[in-house]
Structure 1
Amino acid sequence: MDETVVTEDGVRLWACRAGQGVPVVFCHGGPGLWDTLDDVAALLAGGAAVHRWDQRGCGRSQRCGPYSVGRSVADLDAVRRHFGLDGMVLLGHSWGAQLALRYALDHPRRVRGLVYVAGTGIDPDAPWHDDYSRDLRARLGDHLERWAELKNRERTPAEDRELSVLQWSADFTGDRALEQAERMATPWLGVNFACNAAINAENAREWGSPELRARCATLEVPVLIVDGDRDIRPRWAVDSLERALPRVTRVVLAGAGHLPWTEDPDGFREAVSAFLAQVSPATQAPRG
C-alpha cells in the first residue's frame, strides 16, 4: 500500500512497505530518478521488511526542492521516523549507495548494516568518470550516435525517455540490454534534471575529501559492498572505500553490470540474505 511521508519542511514523499523480517530501507539511484528496485524487493521477499521511497522531487514524490545531500539525508530520516524504525539496514544503489553511506556516517546508531550496491567509492569524481564515459560509449555501440544527438540538444519528454533508455541499456550486459532498460523506464515518471545537477555538483565539490575518508575509517556499522564486474563504472573506484571501512565485506558478481541483481539474481540474493542474517537483531551483538 502506498504511503505518504511528510518531511519537517512539509514536502510529501511517496513510500511503501512490504514483507516481514529485518527492516531494510532502500535508497534508489539517480540523483533525480525514482525507485526502480522492484526486483530487489522480490529477491528479498520472505526475509526482510522492505521500505521503499521516492526521493524529494522524484517519481511519485512532490516535485519540490531544495535539492542537496544534506536534505536527502534528512528526508531519509523522515522515512525512518514515519515507519517507526529504531534501527534499520540501508540498501543503496549507485547514487543511493552514496546517500546510504552518508546517512550511516551521520547517524550510525540508527543503522544496523549498509548494503552498498554499485556505488562509486569515496575518491574524487573526475578520475573514475573519465573511464565511465569511455566505457559508456563503447557499450552503446550502434546506439552511440542517436544517444549523442539527443544528449546535446533540447528534448521533448518522449525524447527524455528515449535518451534515458539508451543510456541505461549500457548498464546491462548481454543481448537483452535494451529490453531491460525499457522495463526499467516503465512506467516513465520523468527525470528531475535540476535535482540531478544540484546534487552531482555538490558531490563533485565534496566527495574525495580527507575528512570523508577519515569518517569512513571510524564507521563501526557493518558494510556489504556488492559489485558487478562488468559495470561500466570502474570498480577500482570503490577500492578506497573498501580500504577505509573497518567492518566490510565485498562480493563481486561475475558477468553482472550496474544492476547486478539482473544478471546474477541468485548470487545477489545469497550475498544480501547472508548479510541480513548476520546483522539481524537476533544475531547482532548489542552496541554500547
Structure 2
Amino acid sequence: MAISSIAQADEAQINSATLSYTVVGEGPAVMVMHGGLGLDHTYLRPYFDQLSDTHSVIYYDHYGNGQSAYPEDFSDLTMERLVSDADALRAHLGHDDMTLIGHSYGGFIAQAYAAAHQDRLRGLALIDTAPALDYEPALSGNEDQMGALDALFSGPMPDNETFRATWNLVIQMYFKDFDPAVGVRLDEATTYSYQAWNAAAGLLGTFNMTGILPDVKTPVWAVAGRVDGITPPDHGAGRIADLAPNATLTIYENSAHYPFIEEEEAFFTDLRAWMSGL
C-alpha cells in the first residue's frame, strides 16, 4: 500500500456552499473525483497520494457528500452543479488546467466535465465507469450480498446506518478478491450520505455520453478491472475507448471495480506512463 501523505482538509465557498477539499503535493494539478454518490473521497487515499511527488493532487467531497455542505433539498444536486463545483474549485486553487481522474460515479461527472470544459483538461482518466447506463450489471455473490444489492438499487435508503450496512455487503462484490481488512479501513474512513445515494440515480436518468465522447479531443485513459460486474469493460471502458478519439484502453486482469487497490503497482506505473505523455 502507498504511504499516506499528511494533509489538512480545507474548505472553499463554491457556488454558495462549502466544499471540503484536501491538496497533497505541489505541481501541475490532478483532481480526483470520488464515486458513490453517498460516499466521500477517503477511499481514494492513500493510493493516489503517491502522485504528489510530481503533482498537486486535489481530493474533495462532492456537494451533499462527506464533509462538504448538504443541500436542504437534494433536488438541488444536479449534474450541472457537480460539474460547476469542480471547475470553480480548480479556479479557486489557481490552476489554469488539470488532469482529471474520475472513478465510478466520479467518472460520470468527469465525462460531463469534459463535455463542458475540455479546454481546461490536460488529460482525462476514467476508471471503472461507463458512457451510458444502458445495460444490466453482472454482479454475483452470496444470498446476503445479493439481497443487499437488491435493497440498495431498488428503493431509497432510509438513513445512514442502513446505507452503511447495506453498502458494506455490496462492496464485497466490487472486488475480485475482497480483503476484509481493506473493507474495514474504507468503512471507518467514510462519511456516508444516504440522501446523496438516493439522489444519485436521478442524476443519471438522461446520462448518455455516447454521442458526445467523439467530440472530446482530450487524451483519455479508459480503465477497467476485467471482472468488474457493475461497470463491465465491454459496456464501460471498452466503449469509452472506442468512442473517444484520443483514448488508451487498459484492462486489469486481476481486478474488479478497484484496480488502483487490487493491482496498485501496475495501475500507478501505467497511470504515470500515460500522464508523462500529456
TM-score interval for Structure 1 and Structure 2 normalised by the shorter chain? 0.7 to 0.9
Which residue identity does 1:147 align to in structure 2?
A: A
- Judging changes above 3 Å, is the alpha-carbon distance between structure 1 residues 146 and 213 closer, same or farther for their aligned structure 2 residues? closer
- TM-score w.r.t. the length of structure 1 is 0.84
Whether 1:221 and 2:218 are equivalent positions in the alignment is yes
Match of 2:58 in 1: 51
Aligned residue runs from structure 1 range 1-288, under 5 A: 1-8=8-15, 10-35=16-41, 36-64=43-71, 65=74, 66-120=76-130, 122-123=131-132, 125-127=133-135, 130=136, 132=137, 135-136=138-139, 138=140, 140-141=141-142, 143-144=144-145, 147=148, 151=152, 157-176=160-179, 178-193=180-195, 195-204=196-205, 206-208=206-208, 212-233=209-230, 234-238=232-236, 239-279=238-278
User: Given that residues 63 and 82 in structure 2 are in contact (C-alpha distance below 8 angstroms), is that contact kept between their aligned partners in structure 1?
Assistant: yes
- Judging changes above 3 Å, is the alpha-carbon distance between structure 1 residues 274 and 149 closer, same or farther for their aligned structure 2 residues? closer
User: Given that residues 28 and 34 in structure 1 are in contact (C-alpha distance below 8 angstroms), is that contact kept between their aligned partners in structure 2?
Assistant: yes
How far the C-alpha of 1:230 sits from its partner, in A, is 1.4
How far the C-alpha of 1:79 sits from its partner, in A, is 1.0
User: Given that residues 169 and 180 in structure 1 are in contact (C-alpha distance below 8 angstroms), is that contact kept between their aligned partners in structure 2?
Assistant: no
CA distance in structure 2 between the aligned counterparts of 1:110 and 1:199, rounded to whole angstroms: 25
User: Given that residues 47 and 273 in structure 1 are in contact (C-alpha distance below 8 angstroms), is that contact kept between their aligned partners in structure 2?
Assistant: no
How far the C-alpha of 1:31 sits from its partner, in A, is 1.8
How far the C-alpha of 1:109 sits from its partner, in A, is 0.9
CA distance in structure 2 between the aligned counterparts of 1:218 and 1:174, rounded to whole angstroms: 37
Quick one: percent identity of the two aligned structures? 22
- Judging changes above 3 Å, is the alpha-carbon distance between structure 1 residues 11 and 242 closer, same or farther for their aligned structure 2 residues? same
- Unmatched 5+ stretches in structure 1: 280-288
CA distance in structure 1 between the aligned counterparts of 2:66 and 2:184, rounded to whole angstroms: 16
CA RMSD of aligned residues (A): 2.1
Which residue identity does 1:116 align to in structure 2?
A: L
How far the C-alpha of 1:266 sits from its partner, in A, is 0.9
- TM-score w.r.t. the length of structure 2 is 0.87
Bigger Rg, structure 1 or 2:
1
Off by >4 Å, runs of 4+ in structure 1: 148-156
CA distance in structure 2 between the aligned counterparts of 1:85 and 1:156, rounded to whole angstroms: 38
Which residue identity does 1:224 align to in structure 2?
A: W
Greater displacement, 146-155 / 225-234: 146-155
How far the C-alpha of 1:21 sits from its partner, in A, is 3.3
How far the C-alpha of 1:220 sits from its partner, in A, is 1.1
- Unmatched 5+ stretches in structure 2: 1-7
User: Given that residues 157 and 194 in structure 2 are in contact (C-alpha distance below 8 angstroms), is that contact kept between their aligned partners in structure 1?
Assistant: no
- 1:115-158 per-residue CA deviation (whole Å, 9 max, x = no partner) reads 111112x23x242xx2x2xx33x2x3253366369657975643
- Judging changes above 3 Å, is the alpha-carbon distance between structure 1 residues 3 and 197 closer, same or farther for their aligned structure 2 residues? same
User: Given that residues 40 and 190 in structure 2 are in contact (C-alpha distance below 8 angstroms), is that contact kept between their aligned partners in structure 1?
Assistant: no
Match of 2:5 in 1: none
User: Given that residues 172 and 178 in structure 2 are in contact (C-alpha distance below 8 angstroms), is that contact kept between their aligned partners in structure 1?
Assistant: no
CA distance in structure 1 between the aligned counterparts of 2:257 and 2:101, rounded to whole angstroms: 15
